Amino acid sequence: MVPARKNAGSSEDTIHFSVLDEFRPRTVNPPKEITQDSWGSRYLIIAAILCLAAIPYFADEIGFLCALLHAHAGDADSQHMVAQHFLQGVGITQNKEHASKWFRRASDNGDHRAGYNLALSHVHRTHESLQPGEAEVLIKRAADAGLEEAIYALEYTCAGGKCRR
């Protein structure tokens, strides 16, 4: 609206808005009709059905990607799961070096199962970056946390006289 001054030189200087500006016709485009038979909705429904049907075939890949997302966020359980995926080649190409790196991250974040698996990878010569004696320390930590496999491995190793106490 444009203000118009009336009686510009008089003592009654008042501002009046032009009433006609408010009622000026404007062009408004009517909304497009959306019908239930539109092709866009049909394609959307077909795409949704195909996605749902594909889930069983790509479950491993979806599981790996979800675990990887949480692993990068720092979740030790997810880091251990990603390491297992890499170790076994589930949902991803098998890569023992990547598995060892993820076992290391999970172990550093407090996952004793990952520490035990890291020690086993060292014992089985698939991972060489452990310091001397570090594998034994990792197995002892896992055994102290109550991991049965680690307790058995420690008892078996110590029974053979290979433990440092």
Taking all residues of the chain, what is their mean pLDDT, rounded to a whole number?
78
pLDDT, tens digit (0-9, with 9 covering 90-100), for 50-95: 878 888 888 888 888 888 889 999 899 999 999 999 989 888 899 9
| 113/104 Cα distance (integer angstroms) | 11
- Please provide the DSSP assignment of 63-85 as one string: HHHHHHHHHHTT-HHHHHHHHHH
Domains of the chain: 58-159 (1.25.40.10)
Q: Mean pLDDT, to the nearest integer, of 85-106?
A: 89
Residue type, 102: W
Contact 154, 163 (CB under 8 A): yes
Using 50, 70 and 90 to split pLDDT, how confident is the model at 9? low
Using 50, 70 and 90 to split pLDDT, how confident is the model at 31? low
Express as a percent the part of the chain with pLDDT over 70: 69
| Class of residue 5 by CB neighbours under 10 A (exposed 0-12, middle 13-18, buried 19+) | exposed
